[in-house]
Amino acid sequence: MKVIGHRRCSLCSSSRLFSSSVQRISPLHYQSRSSRRQDAAIEIDEVPRKRKYISHESAVSLIKQEKDAKRALEIFNKVSDQKGFNHNNSTYAVLLHKLALCKKFETVDAVIHQMKYETCKFHEGIFINLMKHYSKSSLHEKVLEMFNAILPIVREKPSLNAISTCLNLLIEAKQIDLAREFLLNVQKHLDLKPNTCIFNILVKYHCRKGDVEAAFVVVEEMRKSRVSYPNLITYSTLMDGLCRCGRLKEAIDLFEKMLAKDQIPPDALTYNILINACCRAGKVGRAQKILEFMRKNGCQPNIVNYTALMNGFCKEGREEDAKEVFHEMKRVGLTLDIVGYTTLINSFCRAGRVDEGIELLEEMKDKGCKADDVTIKVILGGLCRASRSSEAFDMLERLPYDGVRLSKESYRIVLNFLCKEGKLEKAMELLGLMLARGFVPHFATSNELIVQQCEAGKAADAAMALFGLLEMGFKPEPQTWSLLIDVICRERKLLPAFQLLDELVLQ
């Protein structure tokens, strides 16, 4: 059945799918061996071949492979022309996913309307997927609409999975009023008996609000319920809520209660909540002890745990301790990721140990860990603070040829320092490089560069910089125009002054 409101299409370009082409067969295939002659051949009429029937599986595959949403819909409509073909849950699901992915939400509504008249059995997974798409697009009312469509189209009550997904999406999006309204409706009309997952979502909701006491009330209700009981996610969420409120001691007490009373073994994520909290509180030594306790109790620290501890040492200026954590990671066979490397590089650069930061950058390259723009900005800032702006300039010039994609902020860092140090020739050279690569300096920096050139008596350079910037859409401050024209007039170069005035009128 076709989707209402959409015209039929002809898959002319997809002749391989719905081909009415004929097959040419050699006459030799029909001649007996005794009657074959080289100078005679029987020409067989072309025989039309039947169109290939497209199964549900093939239709799903074709729609999935199609990048264009309109073409996917055309395929969906065309296969329904086949005699005896009726769409099923799979074909509808893949089409709706494709449409939602391309944000064709009006067409999604049309398809869902058509589903109401289908006789096939649908599953709620279609609507759970659509809820997620709508949530990503901040269409929170539509999230509820998709949930409410489950009962009339699937013809079954939404499962606890559908309920928890909808509730979690609303809470993650901070749609508290909608979440509250949703819960009340579900309790009233669906006779909701919350499971552990739903209780955990409510605990997270209260912790995110900073109302940890309300979260503990939910946990007490959870304990009284016969269908749920606090689990590791419950405890981890509560501990994170306490840590965010600066209640580290209570979080550690709760951790010990989880071990002793409920005998729930923590995982690496739970440990990381405490490690991060200790580091934020300036108690990195305690964070180190938690990591040791973790290891002794059979939970091997992962890269996130080590990076959190290393970051704690870096924040306290303890680069050697951070470096020791780095070496320990290597000893246990873990490879530092880009976040860990950047954390350590930043710490070294802030401490004036730029060369060690550059060594780590080279190590990243050797290990196949590609530096990103954040890492490069850290190095560039370190070089500039160490009065090594020329090296920073060389890096900017070289890195794009090494496959590193630089942002305009990387160039701006170095240009700002060059202007600050009064290295106007190098600043002009960098400006030329930036403009050639399509980057425009910050408005204030551009004005400052022109003003410095004027104050240094370099009117020609200032004019050159200004004209280059104007071509990129830059509009200088009126005082900058005035200063530059004044300098040029004092040098009795009237023609350039007139040219600048013409530009000013055009601006």
DSSP class per residue in 158-173: PPHHHHHHHHHHHHHT
Neighbours of 119 (CB within 10 A): 6
- Compute φ and ψ for 90, nearest 5 degrees: -65, -45
pLDDT for 485 equals: 63
Most confident by average pLDDT, 36-45, 182-191, 292-301: 292-301
pLDDT for 92 equals: 94
pLDDT for 187 equals: 80
pLDDT at residue 336 tops 50? yes
Average pLDDT over residues 229-244: 94
The conformation of residue 364, written as its DSSP 8-state character, comes to H
pLDDT band at 483 (very low <50, low <70, confident <90, very high): low
pLDDT band at 418 (very low <50, low <70, confident <90, very high): confident
Average pLDDT over residues 456-466: 73
> What is the DSSP annotation of 197-266?
HHHHHHHHHHHHHT-HHHHHHHHHHHHH-SS----HHHHHHHHHHHHHTT-HHHHHHHHHHHHHTS-PPP
Average pLDDT over residues 84-96: 92
Average pLDDT over residues 117-121: 90
pLDDT for 444 equals: 76
| Cβ-contact 27, 35 below 8 angstroms | no
- Three-state DSSP class for 37? strand
pLDDT for 448 equals: 76
pLDDT for 148 equals: 94
Residue ranges in 21-81 assigned as alpha helix (H):
56-65, 69-79
pLDDT for 474 equals: 66
β-bridge mates for residue 47, sequence order:
23
Percent of the chain topping pLDDT 90: 46
Question: H or E segment at 117?
Answer: none
Per DSSP (E only), the strands in 419-461 are none
Q: Residue 469 is encoded by which pair of tokens?
A: 């910037």
- CA atoms of 50 and 115, how far apart (whole Å): 31
Q: Which residue has the higher pLDDT, 22 or 70?
A: 70
pLDDT for 177 equals: 84
Q: What is the per-residue pLDDT across 192-211, written as a single tens digit (0 to 9) for each? A: 777 888 899 989 988 988 89
Average pLDDT, the chain: 82
- CA atoms of 490 and 224, how far apart (whole Å): 88
Cα torsion angle, 458, 464, 467, 470, sign: negative
Neighbours of 344 (CB within 10 A): 24
Q: Which residue has the higher pLDDT, 49 or 60?
A: 60
Domain ranges of the chain: 440-506
pLDDT for 39 equals: 41
- CA atoms of 438 and 404, how far apart (whole Å): 16
pLDDT for 2 equals: 53
Q: How many residues belong to the chain? A: 507
Mean pLDDT check: name the lowest of 66-75, 175-184, 303-312, 467-476: 467-476
